[in-house]
Amino acid sequence: MSNQPDSFLTIAHQVIEDEIRELRNLDAALDENFSTACRMILDCCGRVIFSGVGHSGHVAEKSAANLASLTRPSFFLHAGEAAHGDLGAVSGDDLVIFISNSGETEEILRLLPRMRSIGAKTIAIVGNLQSSMAQTCDLALSHGAREEAGPIKYAGSSTALNCMALCDALVMATSVAKGMTEEAYWHVHPGGAVGSRLGAKFNHSKS
């Protein structure tokens, strides 16, 4: 592979074009199950918990933080640590959203019978709707990505991006349904550049 700038740009364009294509696949795959997942989040009386390992775990952690910032109690549960005591944080009122590309992640499959005995509802975000995880959870959503981006089709890229986009869609759709507004967001996010912009907008509107 050449070290010339043109070769770098060729790979970059390929990765981005591949990821755009896979995001379009996700958009086309959205169906009534997405609406059902939204209703499950809205009907949840406890916390909404996101769980995974590896790249999926990073997506889960970001998604939990995103939902919590929109005033919905949420936290990240590492699927590996859960079996070593963190499972005690889950109650029967909670909803657990598991993320796994294969749907066969061993750490998650070990947790599912425990979730059922606790009484928590479960949603799977997977690449394979016929997987063990998809078949065991109360509801399964496909992330829609068919392959990773770029010339190396095994390095996590499109699958993680699609999972994050799907979680973003769930978070935003349910937050808007609950009446979240930009002004309400400002009250829980007063810091940083975002807080400054929102503060200027809403302080000005009240002056």
Range of the structural domain that residue 36 is part of: 5-179
Q: Residue 145 falls within a domain, yes or no? A: yes
Strand partners, 77: 51
Instruction: Compute the distance between CA of residue 136 and CA of residue 130 in angstroms, rounded to an integer.
Output: 10
pLDDT digits (tens, 9 = 90+) for 154-174: 999 999 999 999 999 999 999
Mean pLDDT (the chain) is 94
pLDDT at 186: 86
Q: Residue 116 falls within a domain, yes or no? A: yes
Q: Residue 93 falls within a domain, yes or no? A: yes
pLDDT at 2: 59
Enter the tokens of residue 192.
């940083």
Q: Residue 204 falls within a domain, yes or no? A: no
Number of domains in the chain: 1
Q: Residue 194 falls within a domain, yes or no? A: no
Element containing residue 123 per DSSP (H, E): strand 121-126
pLDDT digits (tens, 9 = 90+) for 60-77: 999 999 999 998 999 999
Q: CA angle, 202 as apex, 74 and 48 as ends, to 5°?
A: 10
Q: Residue 195 falls within a domain, yes or no? A: no
Q: Residue 205 falls within a domain, yes or no? A: no
Q: Residue 207 falls within a domain, yes or no? A: no
Q: Which CATH number is 152's domain given?
A: 3.40.50.10490
